[in-house]
């Protein structure tokens, strides 16, 4: 059954996130409980929480859901599931199981569409070698789908956003521009092959990137989603108390994204991310080189199920690039970490 899910939303995918600066203010006002067993919590705005069970095992716990990012229900389910599991991979973990999170207008959209969304999520979780073990469903005017995900990791092998060091190379695994390409698609400005490229990138798991990071004992990484490359880079820089140097000429972009920005096709989420990045308490964490206005707007672009940004010791860069490019061909060194 055909049903265009994009007709139900204004903002889809990770573009629907609340702005980063608003979230930070909200969290500052909460009295959050502490425990020695919580190895990664809210303090560093990391990708997922980690709770220590014993000396050799810790649980990774995360959740992510959003409104449709594409028209097709099955593809939406795949993308939402891949995006939710990405947080576990960003921490270096193995995905164990997940719960479906479903908001759906059961009287307005045929239930066959919901079935296709769930089938897409199920197939992507199966691809990850994990299991969907239940979920929760509510009736809601705007459809939304995602997962609550549980992963497993050795406490000594956790990858966080708080351990970057001066001299580390910055490696990005997927090209930017998903939000811009999606906005262009809504306006009939995006070429079909470019839109198909963006869908393929969003469906691609970050599992292989995780395996490469673990093999080479990478300690610092984050996945790039709704706050854009610069938004997530600043969160990493703040957590690690470093400055991030990025050369915009070295950042890979999806085919067609730059042309759309040059035409003025810039999603609203990019401006929200720009406000956060350029705020007085954030902007000194980032140094940009060769960043035209158009490139800056793509560095702010909200990604859905984006790639990994990892901080890598210089002596490991060549080997890691070679292996990552087998799975993510546009993987590139885009800068370095400074004091």
Q: Which residues carry out catalysis? A: 14
- Beta-carbon-side half-sphere exposure of residue 53 (alpha carbons within 13 Å): 10
DSSP state of 183: H
Nearest 5°: CA angle at 23, between 19 and 26?
A: 145
- At 277, list the tokens: 């990045």
Tokens 């490469």 identify what position? 212
Element (DSSP H or E) covering residue 121? helix 111-127
Q: Are 319 and 217 in contact (CB under 8 A)?
A: no
d(CA 257, CA 196): 13
Contacts (Cβ under 8 Å, ≥6 apart) of 337: 164, 165, 166, 167, 168, 169, 170, 240, 242, 243, 244, 245, 311
Helix (H, G, I), strand (E, B) or coil at 101: strand
Facing residues of 100 across strands? Answer: 135, 147
Output the DSSP codes for 20-78: HHHHHHHHHTS-----TTEEE-TTTT-SSEEEEEETTEEEEEEEEEES-SSS-HHHHHH
* Other CB atoms within 10 A of residue 290 CB: 11
């Amino acid at each position: 059954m055909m049903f265009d899910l994009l007709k139900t939303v204004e903002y889809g995918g990770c573009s629907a996130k609340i702005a980063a600066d608003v979230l930070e203010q909200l969290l500052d006002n909460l009295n959050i409980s502490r425990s020695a067993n919580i190895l990664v919590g809210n303090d560093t705005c990391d990708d997922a929480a980690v709770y220590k069970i014993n000396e050799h095992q810790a649980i990774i716990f995360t959740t992510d859901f959003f409104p449709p990012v594409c028209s097709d229900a099955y593809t939406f389910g795949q993308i939402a599931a891949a995006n939710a599991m990405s947080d576990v991979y960003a921490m270096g973990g193995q995905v164990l199981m997940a719960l479906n999170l479903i908001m759906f207008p059961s009287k307005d959209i045929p239930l066959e569409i919901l079935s296709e969304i769930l089938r897409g999520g199920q197939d992507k979780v199966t691809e990850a070698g994990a299991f969907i073990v239940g979920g929760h469903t509510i009736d809601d005017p705007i459809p939304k789908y995602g997962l609550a995900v549980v992963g497993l990791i050795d406490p000594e092998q956790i990858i966080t956003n708080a351990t970057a060091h001066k001299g580390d190379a910055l490696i990005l695994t997927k090209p930017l521009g998903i939000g811009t390409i999606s906005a262009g698609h809504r306006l009939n400005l995006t070429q079909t092959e470019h839109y198909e490229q963006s869908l393929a990138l969003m469906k691609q798991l970050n599992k292989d990137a995780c395996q490469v990071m673990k093999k080479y004992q990478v300690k610092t990484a984050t996945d790039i989603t709704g706050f854009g490359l610069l938004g997530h880079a600043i969160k990493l820089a703040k957590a690690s108390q470093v400055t991030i140097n990025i050369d915009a000429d070295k950042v890979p972009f999806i085919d067609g994204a730059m042309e759309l920005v040059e035409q003025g096709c810039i999603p609203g989420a990019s401006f929200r991310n720009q406000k956060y990045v350029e705020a007085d308490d954030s902007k000194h964490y980032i140094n940009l080189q060769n960043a035209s206005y158009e490139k800056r707007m793509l560095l702010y672009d909200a990604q859905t199920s984006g790639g990994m940004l990892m901080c890598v010791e210089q002596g490991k860069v060549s080997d890691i690039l070679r292996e990552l490019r087998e799975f993510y061909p546009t993987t590139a060194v885009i800068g370095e970490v400074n004091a």
